[in-house]
Structure 1
Amino acid sequence: MNRTAAGPAPPLLPGTEPAPGYEVLAHLTRTGWLDVHDAWSAERNCRCVLKMLRPDRRGERRLGERLLREGRWLRDFTHPHLVRAYDVLDRPEPLVVLETLTGETLSHLLHRLRRRPAAADVALLGVQLCSAVHYLHGRGLLHLDLKPSNVVVERGHATVLDLSVARAPGPAPAGLGTRGYLSPEQARGGPLSAAADVWGIGVTLFEFACGHRPFDQGGGHGSGGEPYDGSGTGGGGEWFPQPKRGAPPVASLRRLPHPLAAAVDGCLQADPAARPHMAELAAALAGVLPVPPRRT
């Protein structure tokens, strides 16, 4: 690894070309294993986003494969509420080129909201999340990391990010996903189904509607930390504080139309079999809207 006594190497400087045709404009963020850069694509004559391994994590084959897998999915998938990948490069280093989104993440939006969102805004967000996740399920994938920091919103249009922990339904290790957003079955490990993503939609809508996560007990909101991808250390039941029961009723925290509150509460049932199917959830949320959503 490329670690020094002072810590990992800094991110790429503006003007650097990590691959032919791409120039770094600025560093956006650093995670436990990735650097994300604002960049310029000469071929497309537009700005884009580059996801690449941190300098100190390069050479870790598992992480490179994880990044490339996500990039290939996003390059091949086409949905108005999923971020698009323009390009996926494995040389000289694994690199994924994503479209630039001009909105802001739902987590950032929550930090600056001065009042709680209208019921129609909560329902519309839910309809759009259902649409994106239903599309993924049709392609044999569970997202498994739905949370406000993985949703970008611009003028009411939501875009889902990050398929880094996505996988097919079936057995999974304990703790897969992000602390504070895991369904009980993700926390304990075992077979995962579409119901895990129904929980993810519910916990995201709960936080958007009420201002905090279901088990923060009135505390703040946030990303919940780095997601655990199921390999190495970091998972386990301690990643979820209340794995044996559902969330408090939305109505105990704020007033919402009964069908909307019931839909969110239904998503957050501890028993996966008790949660609504995706089509049922989408229909319930759409029924709250004053005008039916346009087909996308």
Structure 2
Amino acid sequence: MMKVAAIQMVSTPDVKENLATAKRLLTTAAESGAELLLLPEYWPLMGMQETDKLNIAESPGHGELQNFLGDMARSLNVCIIGGSIPLRSPVEGKVLNTTLVFDAQGKVDACYDKVHLFGFHKGAESYEESRTITAGDKVVTVETRIGRVGLSICYDLRFPELYRAMGECALIVVPSAFTYTTGQAHWEILLRARAIENQCYVLAAAQGGKHVNGRRTWGHSVLIDPWGKIVSELAEGEGVVFGDIDTNLIQNIRESLPALRHRRIQSSGLS
């Protein structure tokens, strides 16, 4: 067993304010016994403009955001999966939307750059991440005490082939900032599908509420078990979702319904 936690935030355009909120919620999660903590996508900044993230982009291994995550993991003696932060891209005027995994000593265990970039246009709502973000091109997992953890970010959730390419995971994480419109329609369905088809837990940490920039995010941070059952969920607002990863349950489900062994078509693509 391992207790895990998903942090839900309603991030603002003020990085210092968001750092303080993240510190408070991470500390609450660790003090409640969680050993693996997940932050949401864009936790350090929900800017007034898409380009605001360029102003806080950091080089790998250097910067306030990375120092904060490493220091928190070390001081709390936990694994922190750092939602997403902007790292500098080789493409001028763009960033990488990156998840960094810090071990309990505050060292980086894994780095994943978001592969699938969100685009949505309906009425007054318009989003096009490719204008300011460079897509990643690698599937990334990290080994933990409970087994393999697969890394993904938000819009990746709509692409099941990414998760197949991870191999057999005990846990998939999905830090997100789903819009209210798309979240209301598809969030729970997609998360439960990824858990059921991969026969593993799914932990999703979301942005959840009305932001200063006018954007409204869906929230509903959640832990889902390998049978597709919701273990714990938070609808809106700041808070923490807790739950246990039971490796015996994963094994029992895979033995009674060996769907992963029954596959006939193998995935290919990203390295």
TM-score w.r.t. the length of structure 2 is: 0.28
More helix by share: 1
More strand by share: 2
